[in-house]
């Protein structure tokens, strides 16, 4: 049975965990690691080198981080087919408006939004507030 390593950014943790559960149910040995922000390519590469041969890598990241990890994975001997992109589920994230402090429900973390309360254009960040149970949205000027 193939070893599976899931790498996820904090903001996609929910999706990563879901993937882990599904893979586990199908009998795979699964490991999930949260990525530091920003991602240290050297560190990732070293970590990947220590994985058993044929490990499948599943990524829950934004585009720039994905590219960086793909490069690190190639350097660590992973083939193109060993690296998969996880399906990011959009629609249930809560975004905290840094302008008016209103919570915007059902936002996607990959797209910017307009605050329902103050009309400010917001860029969702990966800063999660457990107090608000929401991600902080930065104003786009
Ligand atoms: Zn607002």
- Tell me the residue range of the domain where 8 lies: 3-85
Q: Answer yes or no: do 13 and 46 share one domain.
A: yes
Residues 75 and 15 in one domain: yes
116 and 71 within one domain: no
Report CA(97)–ligand 1 centroid distance (Å). Answer: 5
Q: Which has the higher per-residue pLDDT, 130 or 116? A: 116
Rank 7-16, 17-26, 41-50, 61-70 by mean pLDDT and report only the highest.
41-50
- Rg (alpha carbons) of the chain, rounded to whole number: 17
Same domain for 129 and 112: yes
Residue 62: per-residue pLDDT: 80
Query: How many secondary structure helices (H) and strands (E) does the chain include?
Result: 3, 9
Do 68 and 132 lie in one domain? The reply is no
What's the pLDDT at 92?
66
Name the strands in the sheet holding 29-34, side by side, starting at the edge strand that comes first in the sequence.
29-34, 3-8, 56-60, 83-85
90, pLDDT greater than 60? no
Centre of ligand 1 from the C-alpha of residue 126, in Å? 18
Closest CA to 78 of 98, 60, 51, 100: 51
Percent of the chain at pLDDT > 70 equals: 97
Residue 45 zone, left/alpha/beta (φ > 0; ψ -120 to 50; rest): alpha
Q: How far apart are CA 44 and CA 90, in angstroms?
A: 26
Per the structure, the count of domains in the chain is 2
Cα(114) to centroid of ligand 1, in Å?
8
Position 89 scores a pLDDT of 66
């Amino acid at each position: 049975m193939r070893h599976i390593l899931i790498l996820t950014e904090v903001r996609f943790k929910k999706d990563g965990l879901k993937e882990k559960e599904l893979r586990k149910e199908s009998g795979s040995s699964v490991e999930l690691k949260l990525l530091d922000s920003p991602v240290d390519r050297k560190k990732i590469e070293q970590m990947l080198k220590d994985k058993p041969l044929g490990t499948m890598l599943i990524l829950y990241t934004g585009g720039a981080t994905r590219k960086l990890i793909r490069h690190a994975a190639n350097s660590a001997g992973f083939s193109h087919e060993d690296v998969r992109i996880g399906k990011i589920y959009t629609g249930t994230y809560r975004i905290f408006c840094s302008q008016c402090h209103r919570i915007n429900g059902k936002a996607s973390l990959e797209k910017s939004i307009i605050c329902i309360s103050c009309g400010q254009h917001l860029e969702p960040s990966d800063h999660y507030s457990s107090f608000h149970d929401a991600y902080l949205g930065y104003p786009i000027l």
